[in-house]
Chain A
Amino acid sequence: MIQTVRVKNNNDSQTAKVYRLEGVSEKQAKILAENLLCEEINQSYTLNKPILRGVTFEIAYKPGVMNPEVASIMKSAKDLKIDLIACDSSREYLDKAPVFNPLIEYMVEREPKTLLIKGTTGKTKIIPIRELSDNELMELSKDKLFLSLEEMKIIQKYFQKIKKEPTDCELETLAQTWSEHSGHKTFKSEIIVDGKKKQPLIERIKQEALKHRKNIVSAFIDNSGVMDFYEGWAICGKGETHNAPSAIEPYGGAMTGSGGVFRDIAGTGQGAKNVISQDVFCFAPPDYPSEKLPEGTLPPKYLLKRVVEGVRDYGNRMGIPTNNGSIHFHEDFRARPTVFVGAYGIMPKKYAKKGEAKLGDLIVVVGGRTGRDGIHGATFSSGEMTEKTKEVNATAVQIGNAIEEKRMFDALLEARDEDLIRVVQDVGGGGFSSAIGEIGENLGVSVDMKKAPLKYQGLSPWEIWVSESQERMIVVLPKKNLKKFVKICQKYNTEASVLGKFDNSKKLNVYFGKEQICNLDMQFLHHGLPKKVLQAIHPRGVKATPGVTEGLLRGGPKSEKEWILVSEKVLSSGDVCSKEPIVRMYDHTVQGTSVLPPFTGVKMDGPNDAVVIRPLLDKPYGMIVAHGLNPALNNIDPYWGSIWAATEAVSNYSAVGGDYKEASLINNYIWPFPDEESLWSLDQSVTAVCDFMKTLKIPVISGKDSLSSTYRGPDGTVIKIPPVLIMSVFGKIPDAKKTVSSDFKKVGSTIVLVGKQNFNNPPHVDLKLLPKVLDTLYKTIQTGKVLSCHDVSEGGLITSIFEMCLGGVMGAIINTSKDFLFNETAGCFIIEVENENVVKKLFQGIPYQILGKTQKQNNIKVDKLFKVSVSQLAQAWKKPMEEIFS
């Protein structure tokens, strides 16, 4: 019997919350209603009766989709001495059903008889493949394994050789491990560029990076890149995209994207604490006409809002400050958005590397339970998006439960500090199959899937093995530490179960009870996939898409009125406009570490270029994080576009006072499917990144690629999402106080442009000059003579000056050539200093130009061209996101 409690707020006659409680009496339901579900100060409830007057529509999560509230209700009922068998919560609406996502939600038309998900465990199947034809092999792979014919044939050959047919579990394991998502096949391939053989992309990045190892603690081998900090501490960083799930369920996609990258940090070495969360999104313009959207894609405004909500609800609950990010708009993202999440952590250096697993060590799963949600996430995200993506891959979509992850992290950090953990590994793409397959590569392991705690019954053994259910991690520890470890987990209400152990078999042995469901050679699993040789060819004819300013400036504004109009257009364009309404929904002061938040200034609305925190509250040491990307420039020129992105990242870092020599880079490539043309641009981008490392003598220490940004429509349309390089930079500074914000501080001070502008499209950054400019800037900020500083990027010089005026609630008189105003050369800075006398001394030897002075009057006057009030520009700059988010 299910008791249904409906609760509504007294001032709301349109919606109500519905709680279904299974296994309790009416009397017990009443106790729960009065003590837990309803607060009589402002609410009322009914028991097994309607509460809204009229026709109602109830929207609930589909059975099996994570509803984080359920666990809390179960717990609280137990605290009230009532044992629920099951429960659920949902919402009902009067007269009209709201928009909902049928992938995860449904309309409740009949009261459910039970909330329990029942089912019998499926059997492990043998999949005969030894005799299959090429066509049959591809049929097997399609929409499920996402492997190529060549790969399928290698698998076929292996099983022919060992004279048996594979189990479903074995095939799934191979598909997960060999997926582009987990295997990064393209980056490991040899490539032939316009007929010339080149080393694999990843090798080129590594080779250059490892020449600059001064600060490196670990690079390319762990779940994040680790660099040295101060006094025996290390900091780490990682970036990851979650485009595929976010394209079809943006709220869940953004949540699980955040959750996954946080686990990468928590799963670095023997465990790190997350201290910064970073978000970068690319969408089609929010007002993009819906009739022009490709079939099977969601409207960009909906995607934007739901992604923001997902990041907000997950990051805030985790208590990780979300304080660095950006949002970009380009119509080519209409087919698939880019949703990138970065995370940064800190840990004692002695725990910064994984320990070595030993024979007999236990493999323990910690955190959430395993369900059917998230099956095939890794293989699915490696495939291209089609109009059918939504239907076929609904199970790849999940909702995250941040609290599950939070308590697991709390427990893991305590266990780390007790020296209990040898290895901690994130369970992400590919589920147990990847996590356990990876840690067991050298020794071999035996694990029993029957020991994995399940959310509900009815999963087949292979489903348990590859499920990507969120909020789980694998811990390796010596048997003698188990008792202590479990005790810590209990303190934090997080579940821990031993799945198996290291057995020195050099094999991946998976059991379900007594039945062996997988028996694969580690050697074949990890090295059986031969390196591919891929062709890259320089495309003829370059497609140039005009940037915002370029289109507007054709011929140049002719009157003051036109200049003001153009300025307003630039400031209100998607990439440039204020993102404050979004940032205010993210907690960026939690942990108390903030030294430079996203916004400062008199009204706290002036944007800053990077974030500075003190991750150790009782120490002066600063940690700085910034990023840069080029959502449109790579289409024009992938080399200079990528140089621009990397320069923009490091400029943001330097603008706040960071010393780039004490920084590390993280590169993320979000590229269309690597056909010959896209592989050529990818090669160009990687070359740019290597040149950039060489120029600044700092390493990339982590990165990832997602090479599936291609959409194929039912009518044969192919849309390639713009190739995006996101470059993140993080590093250290001994005194966090020696950093600056962007808001103008004083009336009458001198405004200087530092750096050299370039007028190509994309602008060519002068790489010879760049280190000199950055170094001078750092030293100048260290002297304390820089009152404020802002880098020049999208929107050009005029945008930087406007933002500085806004923050300082003052104006500026400047005098410069009109060509300079909207130029977007990265590596240029606007700097405020006390007076002209100091300028020469400070910036000797690098290009600079005195632009003018700050003034009390609240307007910007560009000599001989125009004068406009700061508040008028502010209105244009703030309006776009305010309209969407208020």
Chain B
Amino acid sequence: MKTLRLPFDNAQGRRSGRSPKVCILRADGTNCDVELFYAFKKAGGDPEYVNVNQLRDKSKSMQDFQILALPGGFAYGDDIASGKIWAVELVSFFKDELEKFHKKDGIIVGICNGFQVLIRTGLLPFGNIGKMDATLLPNNSGHFECRWVRVRDEKSKRIFWMSINHGEGKFFANNETIKAIETKGLVIFRYIDNPNGSINDIAGVTDPTGRVIGLMPHPEKFMDLTQYPNWRRDKITKPHGSFIFEEMIKYAKENL
């Protein structure tokens, strides 16, 4: 198994070759699918919307894709806990499929609600499908918040602006788990201005292979300069969300 090379600082120039196929997976209440589709497309991928029901009735197969992306939203209303109902569905019906997809070096990425789902399936942070090792709790503020925050990429130390739009984004696990996450270097993004009370300012994590990625902030909402509130005053040359998508596409092109 290969490891996806984050940091996101060396994604220059795309390799030639076929555009990697990206499965934008949707469930009832998914609502950041359009911008995620746009982000992958702009980064050179070949995205396609797939409803989880299409996987269940086998009219689509996730094995036909190189990247599996879980968008933000409120899957099944985020009832019981954010992403819970969808996570139960994925674990109940697709445990083997997900393992197979992961083993064949596919990339799995979850943003916001998608991250909450990946955490609740157990895929993050340690790849234990069906066993939760960490959780995302209600924000310290007690409610949904929409604001732009600065996020640091742990390897390159670069700082990115990203939008957060969530009510349950506080990364939490017991001390040993947090320690293990830190020693294994699984934290990929940290908040500069922690908006929700996440332990160790954790904004995003990966699994030990680097090919399962989850984060609360929304890089897909910063693929064009004008999506950033202060594009009129701050001098930014490249949208901050593009790095992560270009990196994933590049990896998929080189390795899958």
Contacts and interface: CB of A to CB of B under 8 A. Distances in A.
Interface in B23-42: 26, 28-32, 34-35, 38
Contacts of A401: 77
A600 interface: yes
Interface string B205-236: 00000000000001011011011011011000
Contacts of B34: 591-592, 617
Given A73-B79, A79-B89, A597 B135 contact: no
Nearest to B81: A39
Contacts of A540: none
A148 interface: no
Contacts of B32: 319, 590-592
A41 B146 contact: no
Most chain A Cβ neighbours within 10 Å, of B28, B35, B73, B141: B28
B3 interface: no
B181 to A, nearest CB: 13
Interface string B81-99: 1001100110011000000
A589 B51 contact: no
Contacts of A587: 144, 146, 165
Most chain A Cβ neighbours within 10 Å, of B54, B146, B172: B146
Contacts of A602: 230, 233
Interface string A597-630: 1011110100000000010011000000000000
Given A493-B28, A587-B165, A590-B165, A599 B229 contact: yes
Contacts of A316: 74, 144, 165
Nearest to B31: A319
Contacts of A491: 51, 53-54
Nearest to A37: B80
B147 interface: yes
B31 A406 contact: yes
Nearest to A586: B146
A585 B165 CA distance: 9
B38 A36 contact: no
A126 B76 CA distance: 43
A72 interface: yes
A73 B85 CA distance: 8
A41 B172 contact: yes
Contacts of A72: 76-77, 79-80, 85
B74 A317 contact: yes
B80 A604 contact: no
Interface string B104-117: 00000000000000
Interface stretch (A97-105, A245-253, A462-470, A737-745): A737-745
B163 interface: yes
Contact of A318 (B26, B31, B93, B135): B31
B154 interface: no
Contact of B223 (A69, A80, A592): A592
A76 interface: yes
A589 B80 contact: no
A42 B135 contact: yes
B27 to A, nearest CB: 9
B137 interface: yes
A737 B226 contact: yes
A399 to B, nearest CB: 12
B159 interface: no
Contacts of A318: 31
B65 interface: no
A601 B147 CA distance: 13
A145 B50 CA distance: 48
A495 B165 CA distance: 30
Interface string A480-500: 000000000011110000000
Contacts of B77: 68-69, 72, 317, 401-403
A492 B26 CA distance: 9
A745 B235 CA distance: 12
A654 interface: no
Size category of the B interface is 35 or more
A595 to B, nearest CB: 5
Contacts of A737: 226
B174 interface: yes
Contacts of B220: 592
A617 B230 CA distance: 18
A8 to B, nearest CB: 13
Given A312-B144, A490-B53, A589-B165, A601 B85 contact: no
A592 B41 CA distance: 14
A75 B76 contact: yes
Contacts of B148: 604
Contacts of B93: 79
Contacts of A79: 88-89, 92-93
Contact of A589 (B30, B92, B141, B163): B163
Contacts of B58: none
Given A76-B89, A617-B34, A736 B135 contact: no
A493 B85 contact: no
B167 to A, nearest CB: 8
A41 B223 contact: no
A584 interface: yes
Contacts of B92: 79-81
A599 B77 CA distance: 28
B11 interface: no
A244 to B, nearest CB: 26
B85 A75 contact: yes
A589 B53 contact: no
A20 interface: no
A402 B218 CA distance: 22
B134 interface: yes
Interface string A401-440: 1110011001000000000000000000000000000000
B246 to A, nearest CB: 17
A313 to B, nearest CB: 8
A349 interface: no
B70 to A, nearest CB: 15
A588 B144 CA distance: 12
A695 interface: no
Nearest to B78: A317
B192 interface: no
B80 A41 contact: no
A491 B49 CA distance: 12
B51 to A, nearest CB: 5
A73 B80 contact: yes
Contacts of A588: 146
A123 B220 CA distance: 55
B144 A493 contact: no
A42 B137 contact: yes
A41 B122 CA distance: 12
Given A40-B132, A73-B79, 19 more contacts: A75-B76, A76-B89, A80-B92, A312-B143, A317-B29, A317-B74, A319-B30, A319-B31, A319-B73, A402-B77, A406-B28, A406-B31, A490-B53, A583-B146, A591-B35, A592-B34, A594-B221, A614-B226, A737-B226
Interface of A: 35-37, 39-42, 68-69, 72-73, 75-76, 79-81, 312, 316-319, 401-403, 406-407, 410, 490-493, 583-592, 594-595, 597, 599-602, 604, 614, 617-618, 736-737, 740-741, 743, 745, 886
The 8 A-B residue pairs with the shortest CB-CB distance, nearest first, are A319-B31, A592-B35, A72-B79, A403-B77, A69-B79, A407-B28, A317-B74, A403-B29
26 contacts: A36-B84, A69-B80, A79-B88, A81-B92, A317-B29, A406-B28, A406-B31, A410-B26, A492-B28, A584-B146, A587-B144, A589-B146, A590-B31, A591-B34, A592-B32, A592-B38, A592-B223, A594-B227, A595-B227, A597-B229, A599-B229, A600-B230, A600-B232, A602-B230, A604-B147, A740-B232
